[in-house]
C-alpha cells in the first residue's frame, strides 16, 4: 500500500523492471520514534521525503513499547492505590481486575496517540509514505514494494526486536515478548519473566499489581545498568510487594505448553525447577539489520547494530543510522535526539555530534529510577576527587503528605562543583531528573541549583536540598557552612 502525496517533490517513472522510480532528498527507513522525527522535520524544512515502514506506523514505542507499557502501569497503579488507601483514611478494597478491560484501556491509549504517527498525518505534512519492507540494492538505491527510491541521503531507523535467547525447549513452549504481551486478554495467574532489566521489572510490578503471581529470573544483577545503591531500593520495594526476583539465576531449559510452563534454573552449581502458567521474555533487544541489503550499500554492522561515527554517519557517507538499530542507549528520547542531529547534519551541514553524557533515562517502576550523566564510579575514574550529595524523600514535606517517602536524590560533582551526574529513586523521579538533565547539558555548577525558588510544597525541593549539601561537604569555613545550612532549611 502506498499513501499518495500530491505535494511531494518526487519524480516517478515506470522502469523496465516493473519498479516505479522515485527520487527524493531524504529517504527514511522505519516509521518509529526516530524515523518519524526525521521525516517530519525534513518535510517542514521543505525537503522531499520518502518514509518507508514495513509494519506499523509509530514503531515499537507506540505499538509495543513505551505507550502500552505505561498505560498498563497506570492500570496497575490504580489497583495498588485501591489496595493501599487505608493509611489515607479511605477504606482499602481488593480491586476486581478485568484483564479484557485492562487490554482495552491499553489499546485505547495507543488509539488516542496513533493519529500523530499515522500515514494520513505524514502525508499531510508532505511526506510520501510507502508501506513495505525496504532493502538497499546498491549504495544509493532502496527498493520497497513496487518502488525504487534514489535519494541524496538515507536514514536507517529500523529499530530493534526482542531477543529470543537460545534456551533449550523454548521452540516448543508458547511465550510472550513485548510484541505480544499487550494483546493479552487473559488473566496471567502465574507469570514467569526471564530478564530483570527495566522492561522485565516494569512489567513484573504491573502484572503483580493486577493480580498475577510473578517470578523474575535474571542471570546477572537485576537493573544491573543502574547505580546499585539506588536500584536496590526499587528491588526491595518490588520484593516487599510480592514480586519474586531471583538474581544470578540462569534459565537453562524450558518445557510445557499452553497454561503450564516449567523452567529449569541454575543458581551456580545448584538447579531448581519452577512452574508457572505463562512465560514472558525480556532479555534484551536485537537490532533490525537483517534482509536490508546493508552489504550491498556498503554499510558496516555487527550483532550490536549498525556502526556509526559520532555524527551518526554510517560507512556509506550517504547513509545515516539512528535509534535502536545502532545499539547503545535504546530509548525513544534517544532516537528523537539522534533525529535532531541528523537533521542538522544532513540538511544544514552543521557539525552536530552525539553527546551520550547528557542522555537521561528512567525506569518506570514504583518507585521510579532515573539517571543522567556519570555514575559515581565513572565520575571517580574521570574526575578523581568528587563530591557525592544526597537528599532523602522523607525530609520533603510533600513526600510526607502523599506518603511517598521512599527514595533519595544522589548527585555527583567535581571538586569545583561542576555537576557530573545525578540519580534519583522515588516518586516522580522521571520528572525530577529533568532539572539535572538541563544542568548537565548546560554544564552548570551546583551553585546554580541553589539559586532558584521552588514552590512549596513540591517534590522538586528535594533537588535544591541535595544541591545545598555541596556546601556542607565543600572546604569552606564553619561559619559559611552554618549560614548556608540555615538558608537550606529556609528552602
CA distance linking residue 207 with residue 216, whole number of Å: 12
125: its cell numbers? 505534512
Q: Which is nearer to ligand FAD, 155 or 467 (CB)?
A: 155
Q: Which is nearer to ligand FAD, 276 or 305 (CB)?
A: 305
Shortest separation between residue 363's beta carbon and ligand FAD, angstroms? 8
Q: Is 462 exposed, middle or buried (0-12, 13-18, 19+ CB in 10 A)?
A: buried
CA distance linking residue 56 with residue 119, whole number of Å: 10
Shortest separation between residue 297's beta carbon and ligand FAD, angstroms? 12
410 DSSP β-pair partners: 390, 423
Please state the φ and ψ torsions of residue 176, each to the nearest 5 degrees: -95, 150
Q: Which is nearer to ligand FAD, 62 or 389 (CB)?
A: 62
Shortest separation between residue 205's beta carbon and ligand FAD, angstroms? 13
Dihedral, CA of residue 467, residue 473, residue 475 and residue 479, to nearest 10: 80
On whether the CB atoms of residues 30 and 60 are closer than 8 A, the answer is no
Q: Which is nearer to ligand FAD, 46 or 111 (CB)?
A: 111
Q: Is 187 exposed, middle or buried (0-12, 13-18, 19+ CB in 10 A)?
A: middle
Q: Which is nearer to ligand FAD, 64 or 471 (CB)?
A: 64
Q: Which is nearer to ligand FAD, 207 or 364 (CB)?
A: 364
Is residue 373 helix, strand or coil? Answer: strand
CB-nearest residue to ligand FAD: 32
The contacts of residue 488 (CB under 8 Å, 6+ apart) are: 450, 465, 468, 471
Q: Which is nearer to ligand FAD, 134 or 433 (CB)?
A: 134
Q: Which is nearer to ligand FAD, 184 or 450 (CB)?
A: 184
Shortest separation between residue 177's beta carbon and ligand FAD, angstroms? 8
59: its cell numbers? 514503531
Q: Is 132 exposed, middle or buried (0-12, 13-18, 19+ CB in 10 A)?
A: middle
Shortest separation between residue 405's beta carbon and ligand FAD, angstroms? 25
Shortest separation between residue 199's beta carbon and ligand FAD, angstroms? 4
Shortest separation between residue 178's beta carbon and ligand FAD, angstroms? 4
> Quick count: other Cβ atoms within 10 Å of Cβ 252?
13
Which residue in the block uniquely carries the three cell numbers 510487594?
A: 241
**Percent helix / strand / coil, the chain, rounded to 5:** 35, 25, 35
Q: Which is nearer to ligand FAD, 144 or 173 (CB)?
A: 144
Shortest separation between residue 472's beta carbon and ligand FAD, angstroms? 35
The contacts of residue 351 (CB under 8 Å, 6+ apart) are: 311, 345
Q: Which is nearer to ligand FAD, 2 or 396 (CB)?
A: 2
Strands 147-156, 20-29: parallel, antiparallel or unpaired by DSSP?
parallel
Shortest separation between residue 80's beta carbon and ligand FAD, angstroms? 19
Shortest separation between residue 85's beta carbon and ligand FAD, angstroms? 27
Which residue in the block uniquely carries the three cell numbers 540555615?
A: 486
Query: What ranges make up the beta strands (E) of 47-156?
Result: 49-53, 127-131, 134-138, 141-144, 147-156
Report the b/e string of 297-333 with b at 16+ CB within 10 A.
bebebeeebbebeebbbbbbebbbbbbbbbbebbbbb
Q: Which is nearer to ligand FAD, 53 or 226 (CB)?
A: 53
On whether the CB atoms of residues 283 and 264 are closer than 8 A, the answer is no
Shortest separation between residue 450's beta carbon and ligand FAD, angstroms? 30
Q: Which is nearer to ligand FAD, 23 or 158 (CB)?
A: 158
On whether the CB atoms of residues 243 and 160 are closer than 8 A, the answer is no
Residues at the contact surface with ligand FAD, assessed by CB under 6 A? 29-35, 52-56, 59-61, 64-66, 69, 133-134, 157-159, 178, 199, 288, 292, 323-325, 330-333, 335, 364
Shortest separation between residue 60's beta carbon and ligand FAD, angstroms? 3
Helix 99-113 crosses helix 66-83 at what angle (to 10 degrees)? 140
144 DSSP β-pair partners: 134, 147
Amino acid at each position: 500500500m502506498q499513501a499518495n502525496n500530491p505535494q511531494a517533490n518526487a519524480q516517478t517513472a515506470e522502469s523496465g523492471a516493473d519498479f516505479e522510480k522515485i527520487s527524493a532528498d531524504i529517504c527514511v527507513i522505519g516509521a518509529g520514534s526516530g524515523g518519524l522525527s526525521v521525516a517530519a522535520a525534513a518535510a517542514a524544512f521543505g525537503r522531499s521525503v520518502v518514509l518507508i515502514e514495513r509494519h506499523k506506523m509509530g514503531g515499537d514505542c507506540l505499538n509495543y513499547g513505551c505507550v502500552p507499557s505505561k498505560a498498563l502501569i497506570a492500570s496497575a497503579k490504580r489497583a495498588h492505590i485501591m489496595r493501599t488507601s487505608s493509611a489515607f483514611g479511605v477504606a482499602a478494597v481488593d480491586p476486581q481486575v478485568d484483564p479484557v478491560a485492562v487490554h482495552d484501556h491499553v489499546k485505547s491509549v495507543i488509539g488516542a496517540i496513533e493519529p500523530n504517527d499515522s500515514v494520513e498525518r505524514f502525508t499531510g505534512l508532505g511526506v510520501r509514505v510507502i508501506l513495505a519492507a525496504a532493502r538497499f540494492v546498491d549504495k544509493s538505491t532502496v527498493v520497497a514494494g513496487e518502488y525504487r527510491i534514489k535519494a541524496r541521503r538515507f536514514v536507517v531507523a529500523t529499530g530493534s526486536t526482542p531477543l529470543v535467547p537460545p534456551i533449550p525447549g523454548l521452540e516448543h513452549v508458547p511465550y510472550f515478548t513485548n510484541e505480544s504481551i499487550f494483546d493479552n486478554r487473559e488473566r496471567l495467574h502465574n507469570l514467569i519473566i526471564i530478564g530483570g532489566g527495566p522492561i522485565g521489572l516494569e512489567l513484573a510490578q504491573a502484572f503483580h499489581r493486577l493480580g498475577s503471581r510473578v517470578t523474575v529470573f535474571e542471570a546477572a544483577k537485576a537493573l544491573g545498568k543502574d547505580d546499585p545503591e539506588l536500584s536496590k531500593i526499587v528491588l526491595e520495594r518490588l520484593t516487599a510487594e510480592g514480586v519474586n526476583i531471583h538474581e544470578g539465576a540462569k534459565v537453562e531449559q524450558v518445557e510445557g505448553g499452553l497454561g503450564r510452563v516449567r523452567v529449569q534454573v541454575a543458581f551456580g552449581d545448584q538447579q531448581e525447577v519452577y512452574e508457572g502458567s505463562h512465560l514472558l521474555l525480556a532479555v534484551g533487544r536485537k537490532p533490525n539489520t537483517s534482509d536490508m541489503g546493508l552489504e550491498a550499500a556498503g554499510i558496516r554492522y555487527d550483532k550490536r547494530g549498525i556502526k556509526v561515527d559520532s555524527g551518526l554517519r554510517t560507512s556509506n557517507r550517504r547513509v545515516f543510522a539512528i535509534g535502536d538499530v545502532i545499539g547503545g542507549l535504546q530509548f525513544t528520547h534517544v532516537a528523537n535526539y539522534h533525529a535532531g542531529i541528523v537533521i542538522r547534519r544532513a540538511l544544514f551541514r552543521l557539525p552536530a555530534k552525539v553527546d551520550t553524557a547528557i542522555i537521561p533515562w528512567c525506569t518506570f517502576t514504583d518507585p521510579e529510577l532515573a539517571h543522567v550523566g556519570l555514575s559515581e564510579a565513572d565520575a571517580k575514574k574521570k574526575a578523581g576527587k568528587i563530591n557525592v550529595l544526597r537528599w532523602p524523600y522523607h525530609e520533603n514535606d510533600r513526600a510526607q503528605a502523599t506518603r511517598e517517602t521512599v527514595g533519595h536524590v544522589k548527585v555527583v560533582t567535581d571538586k569545583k562543583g561542576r555537576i557530573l551526574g545525578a540519580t534519583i529513586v522515588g516518586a516522580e523521579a522521571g520528572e525530577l531528573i529533568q532539572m539535572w538533565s538541563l544542568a548537565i547539558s548546560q554544564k552548570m555548577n551546583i551553585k546554580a541549583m541553589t539559586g532558584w525558588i521552588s514552590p512549596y510544597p513540591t517534590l522538586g525541593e528535594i533537588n535544591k536540598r541535595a544541591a545545598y549539601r555541596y556546601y556542607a561537604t565543600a572546604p569552606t569555613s564553619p561559619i559559611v557552612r552554618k549560614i548556608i545550612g540555615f538558608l537550606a532549611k529556609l528552602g
